[in-house]
């Protein structure tokens, strides 16, 4: 693999779970910094190194590289209890993250116990109309952020101010939980003390990450920006309301990391060779049959954060094209190509129609997107095991033809192909110019 650009943004182009963690881990080998810029511990990035699986929820996917500094940017909402548990789990496996290797933005908002309680209570009340959140408190934390009532990491490190504001917030949120959501209230005394202990431990890690990253980029350091969810989960541009609570694209990389957009060089969009999504919402190519079960089984399609089975369907070029357009993608990384082995022919959705007429792009209305009919082209399949292949020349002609089809229907060259979960199960087709 050639040296990566000075700065590269890794973006998911579907509904998340595209394999961003693996690609970031690969790029992180040559990176000085790896930066999470949005989302929270609703993300689950799975890394497989020498057969050992590591799932990261908050800490960036550069954590397994000894010389890479991991940064949690101001656009991330941080559950301090989850962060500390993740740090302990990594340390137990020999990946000690001292403050020199993990920096947390002082501006990042804190997920608090009442955020999680509200999130879960709302989903219960929605019943069949639930959004399908992870229940981790992400949405309510963003609500407080926008309402300007949130608490940030800088506050967590100020014991007296944090205690006063948090106790007031608990009283207000408990009233909401009891009187509006008809749920149990939280005994906040012990929770406040536990959070303040977190603040003492995390204080050495909390810093001005915006300035740190600006200086690194200006100095020509290699920085990888890691998206947490996919483009179709973007709160503004995704399949609303079945979305996450933040912007998930390149624009959010600049804002969430606190760096100037002009300092971002290259955008790599990640897409599976088929399509999955977790939770509710429209999914035009979804397979509610044995093919869907096969993709789920062979692809191990169960959520890394929740364990929920993922909904599976054929590759949807209309979805990926929108992600490409929104993010100015330079290259694609195509993951899980090996999962398609033995399927012949392989359908590829090239667009939609409704009532016999072509549909332009993705409808903004979720109810309209539910009614479209996918238009398929079919590619020949292959039977060879791709998981042991490491060069483009080893790929069977049909697999290479499938890659060519993906390039054709998305308009973007494929630079990386993943043929298994392991770090070494990767084929590089192009260098980053």
Q: Which residues contact 73 (CB under 8 A, 6 or more apart)?
A: 35, 36, 37, 38, 105, 108, 209, 210, 213, 256, 257, 258
Q: Give the list of residues 6+ apart from residue 49 with CB closer than 8 angstroms, or none.
A: 25, 64, 422, 423
17 is catalytic: yes
Q: Classify residue 195 as exposed, middle or buried by CB count within 10 Å of its CB (0-12, 13-18, 19+).
A: buried
For tokens 């910094």, what's the residue? 33
Q: In terms of Cα–Cα distance, which of 419, 424, 390 is closest to 402?
A: 419
Determine which one of 6, 17, 32, 79 is catalytic.
17
Cα separation, 270 vs 337, in Å, equals 12
CA 100 remoteness from chain centre: 25
The Cβ of residue 53 has, within 10 Å, a number of other Cβ atoms equal to 11
Single out the residue of 247, 235, 228, 287 nearest to residue 11, CA to CA: 228
Instruction: Spell out where 331-413 has E strands.
Output: 331-335, 346-354, 357-359, 373-379
Angle between helices 397-410 and 317-327 (to 10 degrees): 60
Selecting among 6, 45, 65, 109, the annotated active-site residue is: 45
Rounded CA-CA distance 241/244 in Å is 8
Structure letter (DSSP) for residue 309: B
Give the tokens for residue 180. Answer: 């509006």
Catalytic site residues?
A: 17, 45
């Amino acid at each position: 693999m050639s040296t990566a650009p000075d700065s590269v943004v890794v973006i998911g182009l579907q509904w998340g779970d595209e394999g961003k963690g693996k690609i970031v881990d690969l790029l992180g080998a040559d990176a000085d910094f790896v930066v999470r810029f949005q989302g929270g511990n609703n993300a689950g990035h799975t890394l497989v190194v020498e057969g050992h699986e590591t799932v990261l929820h908050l800490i960036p996917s550069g954590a397994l590289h000894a010389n890479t500094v991991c940064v949690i940017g101001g656009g991330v909402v941080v559950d301090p209890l989850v962060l500390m548990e993740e740090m302990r789990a990594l340390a137990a496996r020999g990946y000690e993250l001292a403050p020199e290797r993990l920096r947390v933005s002082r501006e990042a908002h804190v997920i608090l116990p009442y955020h999680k309680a509200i999130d879960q209570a709302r989903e219960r009340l929605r019943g069949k109309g639930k959004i399908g959140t992870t229940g981790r408190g992400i949405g309510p934390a963003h609500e407080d952020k926008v309402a300007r009532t949130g608490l940030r990491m800088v506050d967590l490190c100020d014991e007296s101010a944090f205690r006063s504001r948090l106790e007031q917030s608990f009283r207000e949120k408990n009233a909401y939980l009891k009187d509006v959501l008809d749920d149990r209230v939280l005994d906040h005394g012990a929770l406040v003390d536990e959070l303040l202990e977190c603040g003492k431990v995390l204080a050495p890690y909390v810093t001005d990450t915006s300035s740190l990253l600006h200086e690194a980029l200006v100095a020509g350091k290699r920085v990888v920006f890691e998206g947490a969810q996919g483009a179709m989960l973007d709160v503004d541009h995704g399949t609303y309301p079945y979305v996450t609570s933040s912007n998930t694209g390149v624009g959010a990389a600049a804002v969430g990391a606190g760096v100037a957009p002009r300092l971002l060089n290259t955008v790599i969009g990640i897409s599976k060779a088929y399509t999955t999504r977790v939770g509710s919402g429209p999914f035009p190519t979804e397979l509610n049959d044995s093919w869907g079960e096969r993709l789920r089984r062979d692809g191990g399609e169960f959520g890394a954060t929740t364990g929920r089975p993922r909904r599976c369907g054929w590759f949807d070029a209309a979805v990926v094209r929108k992600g490409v357009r929104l993010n100015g993608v330079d290259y694609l990384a195509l993951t899980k190509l090996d999962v398609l082995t033995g399927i012949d022919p392989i359908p590829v959705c090239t667009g939609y129609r409704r009532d016999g007429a072509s549909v332009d792009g993705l409808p903004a209305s979720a109810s309209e997107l539910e009614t479209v009919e996918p238009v398929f082209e079919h590619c020949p399949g292959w039977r060879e095991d791709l998981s042991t292949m490491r060069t483009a020349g080893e790929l069977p002609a049909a697999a290479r033809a499938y890659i060519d089809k993906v390039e054709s229907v998305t308009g973007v060259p494929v630079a990386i192909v993943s043929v298994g979960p392991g770090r070494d199960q990767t084929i590089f087709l192009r260098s980053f110019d």
